[in-house]
Structure 1
């Protein structure tokens, strides 16, 4: 088994360029650093460093181990930080991932509640549109869009938060602007502004509904995000159709009409890492997400 302390010494030598410089940076003697390097190379059975003038340079094997050591030491650092938090009675760290429209509409309320009720918690907020394949890269809590009943993966549990229906956002002077709702088919010949550069699940759900209504929208302008698309609508360039949550903060000069027959709907879920689901920080976060979703539902 590799010695973590020797990995730290090795990374210092790679970063510093020589045994002497690493010794000075670490507060060790050059002899102690050399002993750690010798022991690490004996453990691995690899030549990790080679002479380069008065200093050292990593071999190909040394470069590979240095890159992996960075990941290992980062995880060790996170564990040491958690232990320090637990010893001092702090709540600990919590990572929360979310997609863009949730970030604008819900996360300020969620974060305020977490920090009000648990002022000692350290929050790591991550903007993510998809669930990472690697378990190590996944957040403690992630808000996602997915079909009801989807499998969040081993070691994780999903809870349904809310169904988010789509709305048509029209320029204020549009003939349909005063309506409560509009059939998707009535928008078939309109100038459409796209709002999903990622071409993800949300856009696919919209296109599926349009196909069911008998047309494919002709996007005249392709925007990268909801905010930009809404600005184009406000400028009178066309209309856009997006989830209601994405229309939570509207610019002047636009109006919202429910899109129906069929009504596209996306399902929003929260995915929680089972290892931390019992902690106060996670429970507070999940409760705050439900509260934010309920507030948005009442506003609609």
Structure 2
């Protein structure tokens, strides 16, 4: 078992460049620092330093351990911060990951709700389109787009929030601008504005719906995100088709029209880390997300 205190001293020696400098920085004697280094090398069975003239330098193994120690000590620091929060009466840190259109439409309300009910909670918000492959990278809560019934991985639970239908956003004067709904195939001859540069699941879902309607859309302009695509629509360049959540705030002069036969739909889910599911901050976040997903809130 590695001693975290010895790892800190070891990193100080590597960063400071010598035992004497590390001892001065840490407030220890050079002899005490040397003893800790000797014990660490005995624990690991590795030669972590090599003589270099009258000094010493890290070996290749020493450099590798220093890099890993940085990651480990960062995690220890996070744990120590959590303990300090709990001792001070705060309720710790909550990490929420979400995709772009949720950020504008939902997250302001969610953050305000948590901040009002639990002002001591520190929120870390992360913009992520995909679920990370490793558990260590994953947030406490993540709002994701995924097929119904998908498996979020061991230690996590997925809850369906809402199905988000796609809509067409049309420029002023478009022939369908005065209609409430239009068949998807009616837009087959248009030159569309693409709004998903990443070619993610949402775009694949749209292309699948177009295939079901018997056509492949022609994209005249490729935009990197929904706001840019909507700006192109406002300029009269062409229509765009996107999930309704991405069309909550529209530029002046454009029209949102529902789609029929078929109506593309994306499913939005909340993935929760099982270890924190019953904490107060997570319960409030879940309630806020369910409320805002159900409809507009003040």
Question: Normalising TM by the smaller chain, what interval?
Answer: over 0.9
The residue that corresponds to 2:135 in the other structure is: 135
Q: What is the correspondence of 1:210-289 to structure 2 with a 5 Å cutoff?
A: 210-289=210-289
Q: Secondary structure at the match of 2:256?
A: strand
- Measured in 2, the distance between the counterparts of 1:108 and 1:41 equals 51
2:193 corresponds to 1:193: yes
Residues 33 and 167 of structure 1, relative CA distance in 2, 3 Å threshold: same
Secondary structure of residue in 1 paired with 2:270: strand
**By how many angstroms is 1:254 displaced?**
1.4
The Cα of 1:55 is off from its aligned counterpart by 5.0
Alignment-derived partner of residue 292 in structure 2 = 292
Tell me the C-alpha RMSD between the 2 structures: 1.6
With over 3 angstroms needed to count, the CA separation of the structure-2 counterparts of 1:267 and 1:20, relative to structure 1, is same
* CA offsets 1:72-127 (integer angstroms, 9 cap, x no match): 11211111122222222211111111011101110011000000000000111111
CA shift in 2, pair 1:194/1:38, >3 Å: same
Question: In structure 2, what is the Cα distance between the partners aligned to 1:7 and 1:147?
Answer: 45
Using the TM superposition, name which of 8-17 and 202-211 deviates more: 8-17
> Is 1:152 aligned to residue 142 of structure 2?
no
- Distance apart, 1:56 and its partner CA: 4.1
Segment drifting more, 91-100 vs 79-88 = 79-88
Separation in 2, partners of 1:243, 1:160? 16
Moved more, 246-255 or 200-209: 246-255
TM-score between both structures, scaled by the size of structure 1: 0.95
Q: How does 1:103-142 map to 2 (within 5 A)?
A: 103-142=103-142
1:63 aligned residue: 63
Instruction: Please give the alpha-carbon distance, in whole angstroms, between the structure 1 residues aligned to 2:89 and 2:25.
Output: 32
Tell me, in whole angstroms, the C-alpha distance in 1 between the residues paired with 2:72 and 2:274.
22
Deviation at 1:153, TM superposition (A): 0.9
- Provide runs of 4+ in structure 1 moved above 6 Å: none
* Partner deviation per Cα, 1:153-201 (whole Å, 9 max, x = no partner): 1111111111100011111221111110111111111111111111111
The CA distance in 1 between the partners of 2:227 and 2:52, in whole Å, is 53
Q: Which residue of 2 aligns with 1:170?
A: 170
2:11 is matched with 11
SS state at 1:252 partner:
coil
TM, length-normalised to structure 2: 0.96
| Map of 1:40 onto structure 2 | 40
The number of aligned residues is: 298
2:204 equivalent to 1:204: yes
Distance across 1 between alignment mates of 2:209 and 2:292:
27
CA 1:198–1:57 in 2, change beyond 3 Å: closer, same or farther? farther
Structure-2 separation of matches of 1:56 and 1:224: 51
**Aligned mates of 1:232, 1:20 — CA distance in 2:** 63
Partner SS state of residue 251, structure 1: coil
Residue 96 (1) aligns with residue 115 (2): no
Partners in 2 of 1:248 and 1:58 — Cα distance?
Answer: 56
Write the distance in 2 (CA, Å) between the matches of 1:199 and 1:120: 39
Q: Give the distance between the partners of 1:98 and 1:228, measured in 2 at CA.
A: 19
